[in-house]
A = this chain, B = another copy of it.
Amino acid sequence: MTGGLPMEVPAPGLPARVRIHEVGPRDGLQNEPGVVPTGVKAEFVRRLADAGLDTVEATSFVHPRWVPQLADAEQLFPLVRDLDVRLPVLVPNERGLDRALALGAREVAVFASATESFARANLNRTVDESLAMFEPVVARAKAEGLAVRGYLSMCFGDPWEGPVPVERVVGVARRLADLGCDELSLGDTIGVATPGHVAALLTALGAAGVPASALAVHFHDTYGQALANTFAALQHGVTTVDASAGGLGGCPYAKSATGNLATEDLVWMLHGLGIETGVDLGRLTATSVWLAEELGRPSPSRTVRALSHKE
C-alpha cells in the first residue's frame, strides 16, 4: 500500500515495542456530535482488534445523561467482550463499576483532573472530592482482580487556569498511584503541550516515584504537537501511548475539536522508528475509512487521508 514506506530507521534509546491504547470507541465516539448505532460500534471494536490493536477502550459506564453517545454500554459490551484483546471501560463511580462488573469487564479506568477548574467543570467536585470518590472504586476493582487505569486530564494546560505547574500534576498523579492505579494516562486535554514540557513532567514524575513504565501519554493534536510530544515521551522511557483510530473525536470542523492523536499517524511514526506495535496499518486505515463513511465525514488523520487517496 505504501511502497515499502516508511523506511525503518531506529533511533537510539527508544523502546523495541510500544503498546497502543486505542481510545477511539470510547474517547473518540464520546466526542463526536452524533450517536453511532450499537452494531456499528461493535463492528468498529472488532475491526480494531482485527487490525492488531491489543487494547481497545470499549465504552464508558458514565450516566447516559452526561454522555448520551455511549448510553448503550450495556448493549455494546456483551457484543465485544469475547474478543481476544484487552477491553478496558471507563467507570466514573461505584455505580459504574457495578455495571461494568455485572457485564464481565476485566479492566476499568477512572477519570481525574489535575486542575480544580476542570474537576469542577467535568466532575462537579473538587480534586480532593473526586479522589475520595475514586478511592472505593479502585479498591473494589483491585479486590475483584481488575486492572485499573487512572486518567489524569489537563496535565499541561487548562482552558480556565492556563499553564498547569508540573508540581501540581505530580501531586495528583502520586495520589492516584497511591490509590492503587496500575497505570496513569497523562492527558494533554487541550493539546497545548510541547516536547520540553513533556520531558520535564516525566522527569519530575520519575523523581516522585512514578516511573515511565507506569505511565501512558495521551496527547491531543489541537495545535499539531501530538507526535512531537510522543517522540519526546518515548525518549523518556514511555512505552504506552493513547491514540484514536482516524483521529476520531478530533473533528477539525467542529468548534469543540479536541483533536485526538490519530492512531494511524502514530503507527506511521512508530513503524518508521522500527518500533513494533502489532498493528497492520493498512487494515487500520481501512477501518477508519469505513467508519468515516458511517459518520458521513472524512477522517482528520493525515495518514488516513494520504493512504486512502492512494488506494
CB pair B259 A162 closer than 8 Å: no
Copies in the complex: 2
Q: Which of A148-200 contact B (CB under 8 A)?
A: 156-157, 159, 162-164, 191-197, 199-200
Of the candidate stretches A7-15, A80-88, A96-104, the one touching chain B is A7-15
The 8 closest A-B pairs by CB, nearest first: A194-B272, A7-B163, A11-B196, A224-B265, A224-B302, A9-B197, A9-B196, A227-B228
Q: Which of B3, B6, B159, B191 touches A194 (beta carbons < 8 Å)?
A: B6
**Cβ contacts A to B, 23 pairs, < 8 Å:** A3-B162, A4-B162, A5-B163, A7-B163, A7-B197, A9-B194, A9-B196, A9-B197, A10-B196, A194-B271, A195-B269, A196-B273, A221-B302, A223-B265, A223-B303, A223-B306, A224-B262, A225-B272, A228-B231, A252-B302, A257-B306, A257-B309, A259-B306
Within 8 Å by CB of A274, from B196, B265, B268, lies B196
- Contacting B at CB under 8 A, from A212-245, are 221-225, 227-228, 230-232
Within 8 A of B (CB), among A249-303: 252, 255, 257, 259, 262, 265, 268-269, 271-274, 301-303
| Nearest neighbor of A307 in chain B, beta-carbon distance | B223
On chain A, the number of residues with a Cβ less than 8 Å from chain B's Cβ atoms is: 53
A interface list, Cβ under 8 A from B = 2-7, 9-11, 14, 156-157, 159, 162-164, 191-197, 199-200, 221-225, 227-228, 230-232, 252, 255, 257, 259, 262, 265, 268-269, 271-274, 301-303, 305-306, 309
Q: Bound state CA distance, A9 and B306, in angstroms?
A: 33
Complex: A306 Cα to B193 Cα, angstroms:
14
Contacts beyond the supplied A194-B271, A195-B269, A224-B302: 18 A-B pairs with Cβ under 8 Å: A2-B192, A3-B162, A5-B192, A6-B157, A6-B194, A194-B269, A195-B231, A195-B272, A196-B273, A196-B274, A223-B268, A224-B265, A224-B301, A224-B303, A225-B268, A231-B231, A252-B302, A257-B305
CA distance A224 to B306 in the complex (A): 10
A164 to B3, CA, bound (A): 12
Residues in B whose Cβ lies below 8 Å from that of A11: 195-196, 199, 232
Query: Closest Cβ of chain B: how far from A76's Cβ, in Å?
Result: 30
CB-defined contacts of A257 to chain B, threshold 8 Å: 305-306, 309
In angstroms, Cα B271 to Cα A223, docked, is 12
Q: CA of A227 to CA of B229 in the docked complex: distance in angstroms?
A: 9
Interchain CA distance A164-B230 in the complex, whole Å = 25
Q: Are B224 and A227 in contact (CB under 8 A)?
A: yes
